[in-house]
């Protein structure tokens, strides 16, 4: 479907396996270090999941498209899809609101597109197959032909580890890959990638709508809104009297696995405390500047998001940093 922004603390014990290397028929077999949990998972799920590569690969991109086209020959590549969007839809800049005319055009073309796919049921079946194929033959989410973030290895290792942990919990591949994406923006630094994508979007919008480019003042205001956070600001209730000196909805990452484990353990403890003590959260919520106006409650603004997203994401990240080497490179933990 075309939209206004279309573009394309449980530890599982696994027995360590020792690698051996036979040099010749007359020499001893040489023992090496135990294989890592990542390697164990790769072997265990090799028929289920192909790990995301840690770099851009045109061959991988073409393989993914080839697999989809075996079932849907008219599937467009990313470049073809972007070109179609440029030719058929009006791009929307950062901070802009889609005008009614453009919205009506987009919705009409959405319907036309779905009808051409055979109707909504056939379209949904197609989308499900595409998602399944992309999960089975993933390309790198952050590296592109013209850009690779400096922490691509950490991003990729975290994602693959999170997928494996989902599979270990009995999730199907679609759910495991979807859930693996959720904690990344909180617990791995994605600033380089986000900045690149934003600049790319601005160039794209600027090429088609030169009079609608973001001004320096607008860009500064956007950055201030994105970066502004502290205890007592927004919905970040103050729980320091209960020994939680952190914001429930913001996390400062550090490039050290043990430190991340320690921080995430405290974070999970905080979330459990908040869910078990809603009256304390509500009291702290009411002390924030104006947040409860308009009938807002801590239940809907804080506790529901924690229960649905933040706590599961924190537990998954804790599993990943606790069982794999993301920053410390020698992964021998199992």
> Could you tell me the CA-to-CA distances from 78 to 4, 70, 83 in Å, in that order?
16, 17, 9
Mean pLDDT of 45-64: 92
Nearest CA to 324 out of 188, 172, 191 is that of 188
DSSP run (H or E) holding 65: helix 58-69
Q: How confident is the model over 307-334, as pLDDT tens digits?
A: 999 999 999 999 999 999 999 754 434 3
**pLDDT band of 233, cuts 50, 70, 90:** confident
Q: 125 to each of 32, 121, 264, how far by Cα in Å?
A: 47, 6, 38
* DSSP letter string, 23-55: --TTSPEEEEEEPPHHHHHHHHTTTT-PPPPSS
Q: What would the pLDDT profile of 249-284 be if each residue is shown by its tens digit?
A: 999 999 999 999 999 999 999 999 999 999 999 999
Beta strands in the chain (DSSP E): 18-22, 29-34
Confidence grade of residue 294 (pLDDT, cut at 50, 70, 90): confident
Query: What does the block give as tokens for 327?
Result: 């920053």
The winner for highest mean pLDDT among 18-32, 87-101, 102-116, 219-233 is 102-116
Q: Which of 140, 142, 144, 131 is nearest to 177 (CA)?
A: 131
> Helix (H, G, I), strand (E, B), or coil: what is residue 264?
helix
Inform me whether the pLDDT recorded for 72 exceeds 70.
yes
Res. 291 pLDDT band, cuts 50 70 90: confident
Domain ranges of the chain: 57-139, 230-323
User: pLDDT per residue over 155-168, tens digit each?
Assistant: 999 999 999 999 99
Predicted pLDDT of residue 280: 97
Rounded to 5°, angle at Cα 90 from 84 and 91: 90
188-228 per-position pLDDT tens digit: 988 888 887 777 666 655 544 444 455 566 566 556 555 66
What percent of the chain shows pLDDT beyond 90? 51
């Amino acid at each position: 479907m075309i939209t206004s922004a279309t573009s394309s603390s449980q530890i599982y014990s696994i027995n360590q396996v020792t690698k051996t290397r036979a040099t010749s028929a007359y020499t001893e077999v040489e023992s090496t270090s135990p294989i890592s949990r990542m390697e164990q998972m790769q072997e265990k799920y090799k028929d289920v999941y192909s790990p995301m590569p840690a770099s851009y690969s045109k061959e991988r991109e073409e393989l993914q498209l080839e697999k989809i086209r075996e079932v849907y020959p008219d599937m467009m590549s990313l470049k073809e899809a972007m070109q179609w969007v440029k030719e058929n839809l009006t791009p929307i800049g950062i901070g802009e609101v889609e005008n009614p005319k453009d919205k009506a055009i987009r919705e009409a073309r959405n319907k036309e597109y779905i009808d051409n796919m055979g109707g909504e049921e056939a379209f949904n079946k197609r989308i499900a197959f595409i998602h399944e194929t992309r999960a089975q033959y993933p390309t790198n989410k952050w590296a592109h032909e013209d850009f690779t973030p400096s922490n691509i290895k950490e991003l990729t290792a975290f994602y693959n580890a999170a997928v494996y942990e989902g599979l270990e919990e009995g999730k199907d591949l679609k759910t495991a890959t979807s859930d693996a994406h959720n904690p990344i923006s909180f617990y791995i630094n994605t600033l380089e990638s986000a900045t690149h994508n934003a600049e790319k979007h601005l160039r794209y919008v600027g090429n088609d709508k030169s009079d609608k480019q973001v001004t320096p003042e607008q860009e500064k205001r956007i950055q201030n809104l994105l970066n502004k956070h502290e205890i007592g600001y927004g919905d970040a209730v103050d729980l320091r009297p209960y020994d939680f000196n952190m914001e429930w909805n913001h996390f400062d990452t550090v490039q050290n696995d043990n430190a991340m484990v320690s921080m995430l353990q405290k974070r999970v403890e905080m979330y459990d405390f908040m869910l078990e003590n809603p009256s304390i959260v509500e009291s702290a919520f009411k002390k924030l500047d104006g947040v409860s106006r308009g009938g807002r409650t801590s239940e809907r603004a804080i506790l529901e998001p924690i229960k649905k997203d933040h706590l599961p994401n924190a537990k998954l990240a804790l599993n990943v940093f606790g069982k794999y080497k993301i920053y410390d490179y020698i992964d021998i933990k199992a």
